[in-house]
Amino acid sequence: MEETQLYEGKAKKVFATVNPDEYRVYYKDDATAFDGAKRGTIINKGIINNKVSAFFFNLLGEQGIPHHFVKLLSDREMIVKTLDILKVEVVVRNVAAGSLAKRIGWEEGTKMPSPVLEYYYKNDDLHDPMINDYHIKAMGLATPEQMKQIETYGLKINEILSAYLQTKKIELIDFKLEFGVHKGQVILGDEISPDTCRLWDSETKQKLDKDRFRRDLGNVEDAYREILKRLTGEII
């Protein structure tokens, strides 16, 4: 029986499966930036993001973070738990970069004295505007209890990933998380990859993430491959 496609986004396709509690996610090579104004292809991005996300989900799961990842199905596909996605994107920032550096007038690369959590309304038509707890409550995007859980998870995920990546000579500059509800429980969803994280070589400060595509820095595929290699040892 052919599986029904439920959703296609900028980077992934989501399909129903015979199990009502699981989806199949297919990772694409398509790349977009600036709300889709810039489009292109990063060769093997889908393979790398699929494998890197699986690696990070497993790492976080071992440290008690609940997530939607079930198993890898192929180089480009994974099985995940069904989720009712909460329309609040969470950005955790350790170093001023990108929009934050511009917004607060800090030089890019300046370390934040403490991690900063930001929330954005997940809405492409509105270009994902920044919101706060008052907006979230007024708009009914999540309950105060859910947001407290998300805040706790976000900071804990930051601790786990930052510490691990340091052992691979990678600095976690900032990253985006999405959460959803599965059988009443708030769990981590979406992906964690060079698409959703800023990752710099801790010694050279070379960018090893999607900023190479956004800013036309070149060697985009090489950067993504380098992340996979450092994390898993796999070379593609």
Report d(CA 151, CA 68) in Å as an integer: 18
Domain boundary among 41, 63, 81: 81
CATH number at residue 22: 3.30.200.20
Q: Are residues 131 and 202 in the same domain?
A: yes
Tens of pLDDT, residue by residue, the chain (236 residues): 568 999 999 999 999 999 999 999 999 999 998 877 889 999 999 999 999 999 999 999 999 999 999 999 999 999 999 999 999 999 999 999 999 999 999 999 999 999 999 999 999 999 999 999 999 999 999 999 999 999 999 999 999 999 999 999 999 999 999 999 999 999 999 999 999 999 999 999 999 999 999 999 999 999 999 999 999 999 99
Q: Any idea what the CATH number is for the domain that residue 89 is in? A: 3.30.470.20
Assess if residue 147 is contained within a domain.
yes
d(CA 19, CA 12): 20
CA dihedral 82, 120, 26, 186 (to 10 degrees): -20
Give CA separation, 209 vs 48, 66, 108, 199, 220, in Å.
12, 25, 15, 6, 8
The closest of 61, 102, 116, 93 to 175, measured between CA atoms, is 93
Q: Is residue 231 part of a domain?
A: no
**Do residue 143 and residue 182 come from a single domain?**
yes
Which residue, of 66, 81, 96, is where some domain finishes? Answer: 81
* Domain finish residue from 81, 102, 135: 81
Q: Using an 8 Å Cβ cutoff, are 130 and 119 in contact?
A: yes
Question: Are residues 68 and 179 located together in one domain of the fold?
Answer: no
For residue 52, give its domain range. 5-81
**Do 105 and 69 share a structural domain?**
no
Q: Could you tell me which of 227, 193, 195 has the C-alpha nearest to residue 214?
A: 195
Task: Let me know whether 75 and 108 are in one domain.
Answer: no
216 with 125, same domain?
Answer: yes
Q: Are residues 28 and 98 in the same domain?
A: no
Widest Cα–Cα separation across the chain = 55
112 in the same domain as 140: yes
Same domain for 96 and 190, yes or no, is yes
